Structure 1
C-alpha cells in the first residue's frame, strides 16, 4: 500500500485528488494539506511514500518545498502551467499532471509512481542471496530477485519466476525455501505459499495478487500481510 499526501491550496483540486486516491486500491490517503508549511509539519508525523504536489502555492512553491527536504517522498506534480514540467523532472519527480486532468491520466501517473517505488524498494531484497536447487540431476541457479512466489506441494515446491512461464520444480520443504528467501523481502501468506513482497500488485480480502495471478492468504498468515501493508 502506497501512503499518499495531497498538497494543494485549491480546495476543489484537493477534494478531487482525495476522491481519486480513494478509488485506487493500492493508494492510501494519510494527509491532505493546503500549503507547503502544513505539509512539512505533516511529514514529521506521518510516513508518506507519495505526495501529489501543487507547484504554485503562497509563501513556498511546491518545487521550493521539495528542495527543502533532505529525504523527500516521491512526488507527482499537479499544476495548471506546463512550463514547470522540465524543472520538475530535474527534481526526479514521478510524473506531472496538468490541470484539468482525467482520472485515466491520474491512474497512469499512479501506476508509474508505484513502479518507481517498487524499484526503490528493491535494495531491501538485496540481502537475499541467489541459490541453487536440484532439478533432474542438475544444480540450477535461482536469482532471488527473479522469484515471484513459491508454491508448496507436499515434498516438492514450485518456484515461480518472472523471467519464464514455467515454474522450477524441486524437492524441498517450505521451511527450507523460507530460510533462503527470508522476510521482509518475502512473506508467507499461506502454509503453501511464500510471496515476494516487491512483486505484489494488489491485496484483496483473502488474496494477494501478482498481476492476474491470485494467491490465497490463510487465516494464520493474515498478520504477515497486515504488517506488510503498514510497513
Structure 2
C-alpha cells in the first residue's frame, strides 16, 4: 500500500507543529499540507486529494464538526480536541478515531494504524472483487494485489499454491514467496471459487492442480504437509477422483 496522503487542520500553532512532527515519524503517512482553519482546508478535502484528515473540532468560523457535515464524500477523519464532550457527536459522524489533547505519540500511532488497516482492507476488497463488508461480487480477475512493504504487489492466481487463514489475516503462499493480507478466509474462498481451488480445512484453501498426494488426514503440496479436515474429505476426494 502506498503512503496515506494526509493533512492537519488546527487553529493552534503548537498543535499544528507536534501533529506535523508525529506525521513525519510515521512511514506510512505523507503530509500534503497544514491548515489553520477548516475553511482553508475545505477545498483540498472536497477534492479527494487527502485520504486522512487530522481535524480539530473547536475552530473559529467553521468548526470541525460543521466541516464534516458539509462533505458528501468523506476521507478518513481523526478528530483532535481538548474537549471530551464532543466524542459522541464525532462517532455519530463515523470518524475513524477521536484523540483528546494533549495527544501522546503512542495514541496517535494507534489511531493511524487503525486507519491504515481500514484502508488496506478496502483496497484488498476491491482487488478481490469483494465489497468491504465481505459480500461476494462476481469477478473474473485472475490476479490479486497484496501489500509487500510499502508497495501493492500483483499475485497471479495461477501462482498460488495455497491460502492459510490466521485470525483476521490470510497468508497467500506461492512456490517461492508468501504474502500476508488483512482479509477473511471466506472472502478468499469466494474469490477463488471456480478457479481450481478447494477448501480442505477451516484454515486452508489449496490449488487442486498442485496437490501432490493425500494420505490419512494430510494433504501434501510443494513438500508442505497441510491438514485435511474431516468435514472436507468427501469433497476433496470427489475433486481428485479418489475412491476409498
Equivalences for residues 50-69 of structure 1 within 5 A: 50-69=52-71
CA distance in 1, matches of 2:147, 2:75: 28
1:106 equivalent to 2:108? Answer: yes
Cα drift, residue 45 of structure 1: 5.9
1:78 equivalent to 2:80? Answer: yes
Query: What are structure 1's unaligned runs of at least 5 residues?
Result: 132-142, 171-191, 200-231
Alpha-carbon contact 1:4-1:48 (below 8 Å) kept: yes
CA distance in 1, matches of 2:41, 2:8: 8
CA gap 1:86/1:151 in 2 versus in 1, 3 angstroms: closer
Structure-1 residue corresponding to 2:11: 9
Query: What are structure 2's unaligned runs of at least 5 residues?
Result: 130-138, 184-244
**Secondary structure at the residue paired with 1:53?**
strand
Larger Rg: 2
CA distance in 2, matches of 1:197, 1:47: 25
Q: What is the number of residues matched between the two proteins?
A: 164
**Secondary structure at the residue paired with 1:110?**
helix
User: TM-score, normalization: structure 1?
Assistant: 0.59
CA gap 1:124/1:29 in 2 versus in 1, 3 angstroms: same
Equivalences for residues 105-184 of structure 1 within 5 A: 105-127=107-129, 129=140, 157=159, 159=161, 161=163, 163=165
User: TM-score, normalization: structure 2?
Assistant: 0.56
CA distance in 1, matches of 2:109, 2:144: 30
Deviations along 1:95-141, one digit per CA (max 9) or x if unpaired, are 1110001100100000011112223334421435487xxxxxxxxxx
Alpha-carbon contact 1:5-1:48 (below 8 Å) kept: yes
Provide the aligned C-alpha RMSD in A.
3.6
